[in-house]
């Protein structure tokens, strides 16, 4: 079968490897749609394990099942995810599923979503694979995991109807934050980015103001929010300047969510005294647990969240290098979908 083998952001080769052989508790999925995630093009994060086949935002059709698998059958349309928690450790039992060591270290995909076929094993079969609703396309199914991470993040900060929200960074995560926050009844939403195309999209998706990251963000929030800053600030850009701006933009009693973080080794200097006095909370969020993905799937199925308008580019597997180039450059681009069986 063909795979897109990642060496670096500028070198993704279409190569041939054997179709994975499944074991008695595995399933083999024909990959129909696989999204390029922002983490897939985070070169410092990926290149240390290269060469490898990436791709974890996917949906497809089960074409083979192990003899002990009873919950699925051949022909089932499914969403599946590579990382799932063990549900047994101290972190899981306290509700911190994505802090689970198994979640963070065990990859149940062989080889990855940018391939024609994918072996899914372990608990990813048991708790990480779900039947797609009949009315949901494979492309929509590929959004379940990224939307699940957003669902988890907004739950972490206890977003309330009427909250003023600042979103720093309008990539896919930031734009999904806008869509979900608007659906949950958020009040005024201000979004920032460095790309005009993404700022225009943020306005289209529900931001009251969408401004360049270099503009006076604090004055903009105060102008539309009765001289107050943001109740909730969400960092969706992995740069130090965004993290620093978040510290300046949060209102008394507010919450900052570090959904994205600066590069390793980049340190954020904080004087904790004003945050201590003003009852400001700091939260982090990583990944999505099965419950988050289930809720995300229902948001898409019920049309409470539309993801189809976020797909700007589609590429076949033979053109995956063009897909990565498009996603890496980020010009007039939101979500890039790889479709391994389309030519």
Q: How confident is the model at residue 45 (pLDDT cuts 50, 70, 90)?
A: confident
Buried b (16+ CB within 10 A) or exposed e, 5-40: bbeebeebeeeeeeebebeebbbbbbbbbbbbbbeb
Superfamily of domain 150-284, CATH level 4: NAD(P)-binding Rossmann-like Domain (3.40.50.720)
Domain boundaries, the chain: 2-143+307-339, 150-284
Predicted local distance difference test score (pLDDT) of residue 109? 98
Evaluate whether 301 touches 136 at the Cβ level (below 8 Å).
yes
Q: How confident is the model at residue 339 (pLDDT cuts 50, 70, 90)?
A: very high
The span from the CA of 253 to the CA of 281, in Å, is 7
| Residue range 260-276, pLDDT digits in tens | 999 889 999 999 999 99
Q: Is 197 helix (H, G, I), strand (E, B) or coil?
A: helix
252 is written with which tokens?
């008394």
| Residue range 106-128, pLDDT digits in tens | 999 999 999 999 999 999 999 99
- For domain 2-143+307-339, which architecture applies? Alpha-Beta Complex (3.90)
| Residue range 271-291, pLDDT digits in tens | 999 999 999 999 999 999 999
Position 343 pLDDT exceeds 80: no
Position 41 pLDDT exceeds 90: no
Predicted local distance difference test score (pLDDT) of residue 214? 94
Q: Is 150-284 in the same CATH topology as 2-143+307-339?
A: no
Predicted local distance difference test score (pLDDT) of residue 342? 84
Mean pLDDT of 180-209: 97
| Residue range 307-337, pLDDT digits in tens | 999 999 999 999 999 999 999 998 899 999 9
DSSP 10: T
The span from the CA of 179 to the CA of 172, in Å, is 11
CA nearest neighbour of 286 among 263, 261, 256, 254: 261
**For 206-289, where are the alpha helices, taking DSSP H only?**
217-224, 240-249, 272-277
Query: For the whole model, what pTM was predicted?
Result: 0.95
CA nearest neighbour of 147 among 287, 46, 255, 32: 287
CA nearest neighbour of 321 among 2, 8, 1, 33: 8
Cα angle 8-9-13, degrees, rounded to a multiple of 5: 65
| Residue range 66-107, pLDDT digits in tens | 999 999 999 999 999 999 999 999 999 999 999 999 999 999
Evaluate whether 145 touches 93 at the Cβ level (below 8 Å).
no
Predicted local distance difference test score (pLDDT) of residue 48? 87
In percent, how much of the chain has pLDDT > 70? 100
């Amino acid at each position: 079968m063909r795979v897109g083998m990642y060496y670096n952001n500028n070198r993704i080769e279409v190569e041939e490897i054997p179709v994975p052989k499944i074991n008695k508790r595995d399933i083999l999925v024909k990959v129909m749609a696989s999204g390029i995630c922002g983490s897939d093009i985070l070169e410092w994060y990926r290149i240390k394990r290269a060469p490898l086949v990436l791709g974890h935002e996917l949906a497809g059709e089960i074409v083979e099942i192990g003899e002990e698998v009873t919950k699925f059958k051949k022909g089932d349309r499914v969403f599946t995810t590579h990382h799932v928690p063990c549900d047994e450790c101290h972190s899981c039992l306290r509700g911190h599923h994505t802090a689970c060591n198994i979640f963070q270290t065990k990859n149940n995909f062989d080889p990855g979503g940018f391939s024609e076929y994918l072996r899914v094993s372990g608990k990813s079969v048991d708790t990480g694979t779900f039947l797609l609703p009949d009315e949901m396309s494979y492309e929509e199914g590929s959004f379940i995991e990224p939307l699940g991470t957003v669902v988890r993040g907004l739950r972490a900060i206890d977003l309330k109807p009427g909250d003023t929200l600042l979103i720093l960074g309008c990539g896919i995560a930031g734009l999904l934050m806008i869509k979900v926050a608007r659906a949950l009844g958020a009040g005024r939403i201000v979004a920032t980015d460095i790309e005009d195309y993404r700022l225009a999209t943020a306005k289209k998706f529900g931001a009251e103001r969408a401004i360049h990251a270099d503009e006076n963000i604090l004055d903009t929030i105060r102008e539309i929010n009765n001289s107050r800053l943001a109740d909730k600030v969400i960092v969706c850009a992995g740069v130090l300047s965004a993290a620093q701006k978040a510290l300046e933009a949060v209102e008394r009693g507010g919450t900052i969510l570090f959904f994205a973080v600066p590069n390793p080794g980049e340190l954020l200097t904080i004087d904790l005294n004003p945050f201590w006095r003003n009852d400001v909370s700091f939260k982090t969020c990583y990944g999505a647990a099965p419950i988050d993905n289930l809720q995300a799937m229902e948001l898409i199925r019920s049309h409470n969240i539309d993801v189809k308008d976020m797909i700007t580019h589609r590429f076949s597997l033979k053109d995956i290098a063009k897909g990565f180039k498009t996603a890496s450059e980020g010009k007039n681009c939101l979500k890039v979908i790889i479709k391994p069986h389309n030519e």
